[in-house]
Amino acid sequence: MIAGALWWVVFVVALAWFQITFVHQAFAVPSGSMEGTIMTGDSVYTEKVSYLFRDPAPGDIVTFQDPEIPGRVLIKRCIAVGGQTVDLVDGRVVVDGVALDEPYTRGLPSEPLKTALGVEVSYPFTVPEGHLWVMGDNRTHSNDSRYFGAIEASSVTARGVLVFWPLQDFGLLE
């Protein structure tokens, strides 16, 4: 009887580990860098399966390993991928010569930031192959690729799908 119950406990723990590692995970948002879309303290459901079949694309909300603090995960919007050129012109983001329509920024300007130590970002900036340019939707309160440069695509851990908590913020992420 005890051996059977122990087997079920091991099975459930292994299944949970498999799901969190390879399928989906909840992510609590600790900062206001995505406010307007995701509020500080919101809980976001992320999924990991789609990136087994396709690469992150502009517009995706992605979680990724912080390039500065090992073990910390950040959440931002993918703006451009390898080979694309990003520019910041009069507070607007321009990718490959086309100004983006970004209603999720609520009109906040996209200005260059002072970069992290050892990082050089000058505009226009061509995203290296195998990298992504990510930015927070709350452009005036987000350390993002303007600060730490393009991130390695391999550092992406999941795609944000929906806010599930608190209930008043419940909804799909776009």
∠ Cα 76 145 153 (to 5°): 70
Q: Are 64 and 156 in contact (CB under 8 A)?
A: yes
Tell me the residue ranges of DSSP E strands in the chain. Answer: 24-28, 43-47, 61-65, 73-81, 85-89, 92-95, 98-99, 125-126, 131-135, 151-152, 156-165, 171-172
Q: Is 142 a catalytic residue?
A: no
Q: Is 114 a catalytic residue?
A: no
Active-site entry in 76, 110, 142, 145: 76
Which residues lie below 8 Å from residue 6, measured CB to CB, with a gap of 6+? none
Q: Please give the helix or strand (H or E) that residue 16 lies within, else none.
A: helix 2-22
Q: Which residues are catalytic?
A: 33, 76
